[in-house]
A and B are shown apart, each in its own frame.
Chain A
Amino acid sequence: MTPERWRQVTQAFHAALAREASARTSYLDQACAGDRPLREEIDAMLSAHADGAPVPAIPVDASLTHTPRLLSGTVIGPYRVTELIGAGGMGEVYRARDTKLGRDVAVKVLPAAFTSDADRLARFEREARVLATLNHPHIGAIYGLEEADASAGSGQAGVRALVLELVEGETLAERLAVGPLPIQEALTVARQIADALEAAHEKGIVHRDLKPGNIKITPDGAVKVLDFGLAKAAAGDASGSDLSQSPSISIGGTREGVILGTAAYMSPEQARGQQIDKRTDMWAFGCVLYEMLTGKRAFDGEDLTEVLGAVVRLDPDWDAVPPDVALPVRTLLRICLTKDPRKRKIEATTALFVLDNTASLADISVSHGATDARREWARSSRRNVVLSNAAAVVVTGAIVGAAVWWTMRPASPGVFRTEVTTSGATALTIGGVDRDLAITPDGSRIIYRGANQLLVRALEQLEPDVLSGLGAPRGVFVSPDGQWVGFFDGNSLLKKVAMAGGPPLTITRTDGSSPAEAPRGATWGPDGTIVYATNAPATGLLRVSAAGGDPTVLTKPNRERGESDHLWPEFLPGGQAALFTITAAGLDTITAATGGLDNAQIAVLELETGTYKVLVRGGSHAHYVPTGHLVYGAGDKLRAVAFDLDRLEAVGTPVTVLEHVATTAQGAVDAAIAANGTMAYIPWRGAQAQETVVVWVDRQLREEPTKIPPGLYLHPRLSPDGQKVALSAFRADGSDVWVYDFRRATFTRLTFEGNNNRPVWTPDGARIAFSSSRAGVTPNIYWLPVDGSAAAERLTTGPFNQVPEGWAPDGKTLMFSEFRPDSGWDIWTLSAADRKPQLFLRTPFNDGGRAFSPDGRWLAYYSDESGRGEVQVRPFPGPGPKWQISTEGGAEPVWAPSGRELFYRSENRLMVADVQLVPAFSARAPRLLFEGEYKTSLPANFDVSPDGRRFIMIKPAATADARSRLVVVQNWTEELKRLVPTK
């Protein structure tokens, strides 16, 4: 089957499934008319589908149905329709007269399928209310949502219409049909678009469908961006990748035309149906700017597949950008059109800054670029200036750096962030299951969990008070008057202790004696009762008097509705209702895979009636904040959504308000918010928290730090003279080779393009060979002089992974490994003189870590032949017998430069075996050198000094420190209000 045919099959299959069984035959008769094989395929699939297990139903695609047309003269609320001005994926658009305010407006009528779905309509209405808060000179306003009077002419009841600002003038699409814009005009238009995006992004609103078709230029030259956020409001899910839902107007355009017109501005993540955010808008912004400057689409093609293919794979034609476009603008374009959203590090604010300051930034770039700048740009600008890539990166960095600095300047005075580092006997201990900190309602004290104790840290004090003798405290919470600290002791006792100290009092035994039972949060209400949860399957939430007694069961998870458990209760003000988290049945393992309770739901329980309802899907452990928000955890993020306390309903769209917050696999969020607006949380930095430091370690395990800054390092390799070390330095999204010079104390980045790692020194120490993916996805081998006197040069090409292993002692032959899926790691040689690779050895082992003896005659390697990984030695090139060096498992072989010792790792031990290379190989039994928490890897993650007396090792940065920090944000609610407006 071809992908095209398959697409046809799946489309018809889904369309048939979406229909009632009775309507399927007639649909398929029509859809597969004259195509018997297609019909048979789909029939067989439908039959298999019916036999198999039921799969969750999906909503019917609403865009398949049509709206009734409104006649001129139809009255919708105060608006009288005058004429049809366009139609798009989301319905028709009419010009109408606002009879009250005496102005013309645009009325967008929603499709019938849309309005007949109450949930969807409700969602849309919520979205529209949020969008209506956008009030900006460059954004087309939403005035409101109206319901048509059934008797007034449409002939149908319940017609809903969105009332929009009517913007006169031509769309940018119409303007572009004539050709490119003059550079200055293009920049002026772009500036206004960036301004609009900045305002919307500030409010957490993403356009999702930015394109020339919904950018209007008024007769007086002002730019208005239309249809902000409507794509999402219409689609109602996060992906927003359904092309047919593009809400934009197109006059006389076919449906296919609309889709194509939308696809060309889709970001790669949108095209892939992945999550999208404001970076998607920055991509589209880049596409629009490119098109304004060049007059052609950045990504184009004959059909949808081709367009999307270009979006995902191809680079725009940079040569088409006119040479007079200034470097900062080109840089801006490049960054906006970065395929990987994680690397698209640009904000609308930054774009605005660049466009506002193009002239002065161009000066900066010239003065910094000096004479040897920017070859890359020179090519596209067709200037005969020869400039180096490295300098271009510096220039780019300078501009973006300046712009980033500009945008990062403090925005909201009054919000203070303080980091509290705990240490020693009073260090924070993260349990990893329930919440490890609480805050008093007045925000004056933070209570956190230590080793078998609780710590109370008053914010005006430097040292915390210790509450000890509590058993094994966990799951801490605070009474509403701030006088008591509640906690669980181990798995089954609910206790309290006075904030000022004293003996703990047992409130109750939690509801069972199963050893597997464990607490899952508690909250202390204003009426003196405590609502708590455990992971016992039979019960959900329980309630007990804070004074003690037997608990009563409040809720039980409803298995028929797919509920697994009820966790993490938090009282709402007044104590009449409590928030809690419902986990989904059968999805317990979600925690292991994604780290967040993606399938969990946040619900609210009314205590009087015992009824509860779901508020938010895809989140856990919600708190109510008196600013009128729910704040809850989703992955390692905090999200917030406006909350109507009277109606107990979430209003609007959740917005991410804080990233990198510790969230446990069970869904508890390590954050606590006080009524006075102060928040305390435990930061979780993911990749950043995994930093390592590079240290020297001698044979007696005496450690000496190096001056290499902490980072994520692997594969350290000492230069032959031992004066430098080359490393792979990893970022979250890439890697580069760096060299630290011990004598001069300089740390130099050697590589700048693509991903680069696994450095190997030449025997003379002048060059480094490394693996680099700069030319594509698969890494090949490059080398460059360490002094930077020449650019990197490619040594090998090929479709398979290649990594350098080492040089023959004469420096004329490089040995490298190549991985082929069918044969594993083979060893090749490459002659430095003629660059010819030759297959040297098909190795039977498929793992990393090969090392050549100093005389080049022996190969030490890791083999798992025996079922356990061991270090072996064989003659090189062979053939000949092999020796097993390690006796209890081993990896990462490294030869001493003297050739008299062979080192390797066995778990966290460094082992050494005395060896002899001449006249024949022999080895004595290995012995332990030292044991320590140094990081292992493949290939070797350590190296030995030329004299063999000490080792360069990588160790985790003081992780205890990294994990015992708290962040306190005073007046955090100010920031929250700005990010998530409630009205």
Chain B
Amino acid sequence: MRPGEQDGAVPRPVTASSHDVTALLQAWTGGDTAALDQLMAVVYRELRDRAARQLRRERRGHSLQPTALVHEAYIRLVDQRRMVWQNRGQFFGVASQMMRRLLVDRARAHRMAKRSGQWARVTLDDGVRATPPLDVDVLALDTVLTRLAAFDPRRSQLVELRFFGGLSLAEAGEALGISMATAERDWQAARAWLLKELRGERRHDA
């Protein structure tokens, strides 16, 4: 341990905090759509750094909890005192999209490096407590989710928010501006369809 460094203290990276994510969210809401692209870059970097740190800490387990990362990123990046309610949903929309991209990027990189598929599989907590979490191949999920987005972007976004953003159904519905009843129906159909497609993917793999 270097002098002055406290045990357990995480060094504060300069990158993300030097951008005012709250201001970017405001600017985006105010019609500065370029701010969205910048926001995505900031959020992606933050998630990437946090993921790397988490993996360093837990070298043996190699466990990555995407949804926890997203929530940590939210708490760290967003000044909640200056937050408009509506922006929260927007942030999670962006963050879950970036989490998905991050996982896919890493999975691809590792697949190309012909390493073990440890990075390629993540545990997705789909929010239903009574059942074991889904153990899903990220690339397969990404593929079928992209397919779903082609004909039903809203349901695809809902899944993204749930799986990669760790939002509850109510939160995801709020973020998408749909009622709880609609969110439930959407989720039911999307989930069944994805599981069905993933089975198909697994058959192709075998």
Contacts and interface: CB of A to CB of B under 8 A. Distances in A.
Interface stretch (B2-10, B14-22, B56-64, B107-115): B14-22
Contacts of B182: 239, 241, 273
Nearest to B68: A589
Question: For B14, B34, B182, which residue has the most chain A Cβ atoms within 10 angstroms?
Answer: B34
A589 B184 contact: no
A242 to B, nearest CB: 9
A931 B33 CA distance: 30
Interface residues of A, number: 98
A938 B24 contact: yes
Contacts of A593: 74, 88-89, 92, 167-168, 171, 174-175
A902 B147 CA distance: 48
A112 B189 CA distance: 28
Given A53-B128, A589-B168, A773 B33 contact: yes
A66 interface: no
Interface stretch (A220-228, A396-404, A605-613, A730-738): A730-738
A636 B92 CA distance: 19
B152 A594 contact: no
Contacts of B82: 689-690, 956
A237 B13 contact: no
Contacts of A854: none
A517 interface: no
A941 B193 CA distance: 46
A334 to B, nearest CB: 19
Interface in B1-49: 13-15, 17-20, 22-24, 26-27, 29-35, 37-38, 41-42, 45, 49
Interface in A1-41: 1-3, 5-6, 9-10, 13-14, 17, 41
B142 to A, nearest CB: 15
Interface in A108-149: none
A171 interface: no
Contacts of B178: 239, 272-274
Contact of B20 (A46, A778, A937): A937
A728 interface: yes
Interface string A831-867: 0000000000000001110000000000000001001
A51 B85 contact: no
Contacts of A935: 20, 23
Interface stretch (A377-385, A494-502, A876-884, A885-893): A885-893
A714 B13 CA distance: 24
A195 to B, nearest CB: 30
A945 interface: no
Nearest to A819: B37
B192 A48 contact: yes
A734 B32 CA distance: 8
A590 B27 contact: no
Contact of B34 (A594, A819, A864): A819
Contact of B18 (A54, A636, A890): A890
A3 B148 CA distance: 10
A974 interface: no
Contacts of B191: 48-49, 52, 55
Interface string A95-110: 0000000000000000
A393 to B, nearest CB: 17
Interface stretch (A72-80, A153-161, A542-550, A750-758): A750-758
Interface string B149-184: 011100000000000001110110011011111101
B53 interface: no
Contacts of B187: 55
B32 to A, nearest CB: 5
B2 to A, nearest CB: 16
7 cross-chain pairs, A with B, having the tightest CB-CB distances, nearest first:
A755-B31, A889-B14, A239-B179, A730-B30, A48-B195, A53-B131, A53-B128
Given A49-B195, A801-B34, A847-B38, 11 more contacts: A14-B185, A53-B126, A55-B128, A58-B185, A587-B170, A757-B30, A801-B33, A819-B34, A888-B14, A905-B18, A937-B23
28 contacts: A2-B151, A13-B189, A49-B188, A52-B192, A237-B179, A239-B181, A593-B88, A594-B88, A598-B171, A686-B83, A686-B85, A689-B82, A732-B84, A735-B27, A771-B34, A779-B31, A803-B34, A819-B37, A867-B49, A869-B18, A889-B18, A891-B18, A891-B19, A906-B14, A906-B18, A935-B20, A937-B19, A937-B27
